[in-house]
Amino acid sequence: MTIYSFSKMIMEWSGYIRGGKIINKGMYLEMKSISKDVRFALKKALPIMPGYVVMGIGFGVMMSDAGYSWWWSLLMCLCILGGSMQYAAVGILSGGASVITTAIITFTIHARLFIYSLSMLDRYKGMGKVKPYLIYGLVDETYSIVSSDGILPSTLNRKVFYAFVTFFDQLWWIIGCVAGGLLGPVIPFNTAGIDFAMTALFIVLFIEQFIGNRERRPALLGLGVTFVCLLIFGESVFLIPAMVIITGVLIVFRKKIKTEEGEV
């Protein structure tokens, strides 16, 4: 069943279509437009699926090896939704870490998401009831898609697009984690090298945004600052200082960049 046919079925149940005839034309056109936006969100979220499913399977297998049933993996996907933190949580649960230690580890791993959220303040304005879910579901890959304003159609319903990209990305992750939890006890699974799949995906998304946006200074700034921080702080701790510096510079010069971009 396609997304369009599913939307049509919903409209028939709701009384907007009866006997194949349109009863409420305005609502019908609105639902048809939403269906188009959902398909576009699915198109953008599909490249995330292979990496998320495979990484999720790896997490599910690790949970299974640690003695936790598949529904624990599902529960963590619904409550945490953080790939890196979920992987770390396997060791935390197995090792019996304290609440304070768990909180510190969680903050350290997910500190970058605080930086991400600052750049989404304007985009998530006026999102209504769906806003809490957008905030909850803002992970690395979702952020890379919803922040790419330069390559999104002007007619796109941003609220629908943001919500369904977040939903689809979470769905891919849930599928992988549950599959890993179910298959872990019966199928041996080697997770070596899986993490590079997400690195490759980020490179592709960066190139797509770089080509699609006229304003490329933020991207060049990000590359330069990240490289310098890598040399100064080392590969284990360079990410947070780099993101803090990048965010600070972009906040200071935000209005100037937007003004110059509008004049192009």
| Cα gap 50→45, rounded to integer Å | 10
Question: What pLDDT, on the 0 to 100 scale, is given for residue 14?
Answer: 44
- Determine the pLDDT at residue 173: 92
pLDDT at 218: 75
Going by C-alpha positions, the residue among 122, 155, 119, 171 that lies closest to residue 36 is 155
Backbone angles phi, psi at 196, to 5 degrees: -70, -20
CB 39 within 8 A of CB 3: yes
Walk along the chain (264 residues) in steps of 10 and give the mean pLDDT of each run.
Answer: 50 49 49 75 88 85 85 88 79 76 74 74 84 87 77 77 90 92 77 61 69 73 87 81 80 65 47
Q: Please give the DSSP secondary-structure letter assigned to residue 190.
A: -
Residue 172 is predicted with a pLDDT of: 92
Alpha-helical (H) ranges within 46-139 are 48-65, 70-79, 83-95, 99-119, 131-136
State how far the alpha carbon of 228 is from the alpha carbons of 156, 219, 220, 232, 260, in Å. Answer: 37, 14, 12, 6, 27
- Residue 114: CB partners within 8 Å, gap ≥ 6? none
Q: Which residues contact 226 (CB under 8 A, 6 or more apart)?
A: 238, 242, 246
CA 102 to chain centre: 23
pLDDT at res. 209: 65
pTM (2 d.p.): 0.66
**Phi and psi dihedrals of 17, rounded to 5?**
-125, 130
